[in-house]
Structure 1
Amino acid sequence: MTTDAPSHLFILTGASRGMGRAMAEQLLAQPAHSLLCISRRQDPALEQAPHGAGSQVVQWAHDLSDAASAAQRLASWLDAMDSTRIASATLLNNAGVIARPAPLDEASAADVSHALRVGLEAPMLLCAAFLRATRQWQVARRVLNISSGLGRNAMASQAPYCAAKAGMDHFSRAVALEEAGRANGARICSLAPGVIDTDMQAELRGGDPALFPDRERFAQLHAKGQLTSPADAAARVLAYLARADFGDRPVADVRD
């Protein structure tokens, strides 16, 4: 990625749908933004979305259940970059999956493994690769992990997702302590974005009530219009990312 002026670099996972897709569009609409999207599939329409002056996008089709190879690829890509052309660098770990709602003893091993690999292993490995590759860059560096209220309040039949988000919160706390002791340490926050009208919400509303006792709660949120649109949620998250006090609290909620 090269532009005439230094650009603000954003690396975004889970950019192909929902709030991730909305964040990608909103970042690209701003000037001098260089965006790398890592998702299971590329989105040709994103290339045609409105771009701010000097903004550009690169898309990698990569299944984040294979997190180690994604982190290695990211490290190599960042190592090859001319950091003098970068004004700031930000990693946004947005990708996540919700397994079929069911008690843990009825969940498949594949579903549990997939939820933890995409929801926790991938953010940790990508965060490590990003911090290591940009350690000597003389720019502001930020890591925004998209968490969930379910990482802080347990829910039956969602043990893998709850565990992944709770782990994301706590590893963010640990990394914040590490970075606080380093020169030009990165700022990190694990942020709950609120309740959003996404495919994940649809999956929860469509769960088997015999296996998922909270199904009706999610159905009522939708019926009563209490879900935030992906575009509005993306705007609130990006506004939080831009705050001067970003990272003062390594675990936060956008509604705070």
Structure 2
Amino acid sequence: MSKKHLTILTGGSRGMGLAIGQQLLREGHMLISIARKTSDALAEAATDTEQLQQWEQDLANSEEAAKRLTTLLSSLNADDWASLTLINNAGVIPRIAPLGQIAVADLQNAMRVGLEAPMALTGAFLAATEQWTCPRKVLNISSGLGRRPMASQAAYCSAKAGMDMFTRCTALEEALKPHGAKLCSLAPGVIDTDMQVQLRGANPEDFPDIGNFKAMKQDERLTSPADAAARLLAYLHRTDFGENPVADVRDK
């Protein structure tokens, strides 16, 4: 019996996450999708009921999510798998406005989903599989906004900047281990998703950069979720994945 590839994906119910999940299923991967809601479109891409698990999980409760992942991974036999991958894709943008106008609860949710949950899930993933010898990878979906500031985007920029830094730190830790995991925080480019709709629909008085986002849509400079997913997965499959722990999908 040939060994299979297992991927854990957050935010797989819509947008680019859905496209990533669909493509992984078509490639024959076993997939665990963690999102607030299940997706019929994702289920339709699975060849059988065993290929896909969909967990309904609020990632703002990172402790519960990490415990569920630990339980699942601890139940597996390492010898059954050809590779193991975690893709932290989920994220949220709170109200697009200056920091002083954003409710603390919205800030907490954005940071928990966008930074705390990826850290907690990555920690659970690495701890539960530390003795595995098959290739293990963590792909964190970052953003160019984690590398350059933007007004009225303090929470999102901070979460992505934090994702870049924790990836760097954890990559150093894993490099010291005989079978350490490879990690990369990867910016995917500008993608035509609901998040872009949210940005274009912001109050112009609160968001000085709104014109740039409207122009990208008008000039057809946005990448489709399917194309973005294909580029991300191509990068994930590169032989040099993880050599640069913070990268851009457009890197050569």
TM-score category (smaller protein): over 0.9
Is 1:125 the counterpart of 2:120? The answer is yes
CA apart distance, 1:54: 10
The answer (yes or no) to whether the contact 1:71–1:129 under 8 Å persists in 2 is yes
The answer (yes or no) to whether the contact 2:14–2:39 under 8 Å persists in 1 is no
CA apart distance, 1:138: 1.5
Is 1:35 the counterpart of 2:31? The answer is yes
User: Structure 2: any 5+ residue segments left out of the alignment?
Assistant: none
How many aligned residue pairs are there? Answer: 251
Q: Pairwise mapping of residues 74-223 of structure 1 onto structure 2 (< 5 A)?
A: 74-223=69-218
2:240 to 242, 245, 252: 245
Runs of 4+ in 1 over 2 A off after TM superposition: none
The answer (yes or no) to whether the contact 2:46–2:52 under 8 Å persists in 1 is no
Scaled by the length of structure 1, the TM-score of the pair is 0.96
Is 1:19 the counterpart of 2:16? The answer is yes
2: distance between equivalents of 1:88 and 1:54? 20
Cα-Cα RMSD: 1.3
- Percent identical pairs in the alignment equals 57
CA apart distance, 1:110: 1.2
Is 1:8 the counterpart of 2:10? The answer is no
2: distance between equivalents of 1:88 and 1:97? 29
The answer (yes or no) to whether the contact 1:28–1:55 under 8 Å persists in 2 is no
| 3-state SS, counterpart of residue 252 of structure 1 | strand
2: distance between equivalents of 1:234 and 1:118? 20
2: distance between equivalents of 1:44 and 1:208? 33
Q: Provide the residue aligned with 1:44 in structure 2.
A: 40
User: Structure 1: any 5+ residue segments left out of the alignment?
Assistant: none
CA apart distance, 1:5: 2.6
> Partner letter of residue 21 of structure 1?
L
Scaled by the length of structure 2, the TM-score of the pair is 0.97
CA apart distance, 1:25: 0.2
Q: Pairwise mapping of residues 229-244 of structure 1 onto structure 2 (< 5 A)?
A: 229-244=224-239
